[in-house]
Chains A and B, each alone.
Chain A
Amino acid sequence: MKTNLSMNRRQRTLWTIVLGFLLLMAILFSKTWVNTGNILTNLETRNVAPSFEHLFGTDWLGRDMFTRTMLGLSLSIKVGLLGAFGSTAIALILGMAAATMGKVADQFISWLIDLFLSVPHLVALILISFTLGGGYKGVIVGIMATHWPSLARVVRAEVMQVRSAEYVKVSRRLGKSNGWIAAHHIFPHLLPQVLIGFMLLFPHAILHEAAITFLGLGLSPHEPAIGIILSESMKYLSSGLWWLAFFPGLSLLIVVRVFDKIGGSLRLLIDPTKAHL
């Protein structure tokens, strides 16, 4: 047995969550601790390779890439959280409605799910975002409106299964109302599904935001979004400025992984078959 770490697995999992959460929060509120003056054009320090003064180097206008990356990630996390949250809410509402509101509602919602699944995410996302005039709002609404179908289907199946379980029937004979059963019996079963769904949607949302911004259909170019940073750096890759793409890309990857790790750890803590380990 290892004794050098005097924590049990539950404590380690808790610490993972806390540290990951702190890291994400630090990036999300990076506006308060980075020197925003560094992203202004400074032609004296153009194209500087990574050093202690400029951790991620500087670009062709002398802007500090570390500052830009942090601000860009902050925006990306915001878009990701809002988009994933909206999608999860839509999925939860539609899934529960399909499973509890009768045959017609179920058929309609299932048809809607099939409809949205038959169109590639990115195409629908570009259309919606474009219709709403692009920008911050367009991207977020677009992500919310396109990422819910597969989760809605999972929620619907889960509700249907729990609804017909014996313990729900027993609960009904004990005089519990539909609302009470939904809140106490069905919701705890949905929580892990919804949580995992949310965690899986978040990277999707961020990467799709970066993708349509990269294509020039998302956020406007003056905003320091990760997608914009990556798409701009493409032009300079061939001239040897590798740090313009490498560090922002790596940071995006780390954020997504940290979020994934938090999701996995949370799941470990609330799942009855794993919670006591």
Chain B
Amino acid sequence: MRLEAKGISFKYGKNPWLFQDVDFEIEAGEVVGLTGVSGRGKTTFCRILAGFERPVEGEITLGGKPLQQTGVHPVQMVLQHPEQAVNPRWKMQKVLQESGPLDDALRERLGIERTWLSRWPNELSGGELQRFCVARALAANPKFLIADEMTTMLDAITQAQIWQAVLEAAKEREMGIIVVSHERNLIKRLCDRVVEL
């Protein structure tokens, strides 16, 4: 199954075009890096792929069919700021269960300790929260995962731990990954190919 974006153009309201006529494609199981100078619209492009925004022009297809707007989206995105992606009035257990039942193996692979489940989001650090966001996205069984600067604010060891878990999960499920990052070495290490926006 391949995810294909054809002729995507986008602008916010009446502002000038952020990007025009962008083509992008990714096969199942492929790891693709997405780079570009700050402000070129990498995050916005990812948000379009994940269904957060609708493109002004162009269309996105999965396996030849347009993506449906309702139900669980087959492209899940892990956002750059985990503290915004988690409801501050939910305990972490509920956050995890939003996308499906708890998966202990996945939880342990991502280094989420059981005691964290009964905490509020403001009692965890950014890195700890990001693990929850990754676990939540993976539990939704996406065909593709978008990691938008997913591990930028984490230290090297945590970064490696999370990426290892994600790559393992991707291999098991034939899941494609889009990696957005400014870190050249990370991209070189992870990706099969790199696209510049």
Contact = CB atoms under 8 A, between A and B. Distances in A.
B71 interface: yes
Given A173-B52, A276-B123, A188 B89 contact: yes
Interface in B48-102: 50-52, 70-73, 76-77, 79, 81, 84-90, 98-99
A174 B72 contact: yes
Chain B binding surface SS class: loop
Nearest to A275: B120
B85 A166 contact: yes
B122 interface: yes
B122 A273 contact: yes
Contacts of A167: 84-87
A17 B90 CA distance: 24
Nearest to A272: B120
B119 to A, nearest CB: 9
A58 B180 CA distance: 81
Nearest to B52: A169
Interface in A238-277: 272-273, 275-276
Interface residues of B, number: 26
Given A166-B84, A174-B140, A276-B123, A188 B90 contact: yes
A242 to B, nearest CB: 50
B88 to A, nearest CB: 6
A81 B181 CA distance: 56
Contacts of B98: 171, 174, 176
B73 A175 contact: yes
A170 B51 CA distance: 10
Contacts of A176: 98
Interface residues of A, number: 17
A46 interface: no
Contacts of A183: none
Interface string A167-193: 101110111100000000100110000
A171 B133 CA distance: 12
A185 B86 CA distance: 10
* Most A Cβ at <10 Å: residue of B52, B84, B89, B136: B89
Interface of B: 50-52, 70-73, 76-77, 79, 81, 84-90, 98-99, 120-123, 136, 140
Given A167-B85, A171-B98, 11 more contacts: A167-B84, A167-B86, A169-B52, A170-B136, A173-B50, A173-B51, A174-B76, A175-B140, A185-B87, A189-B89, A272-B122
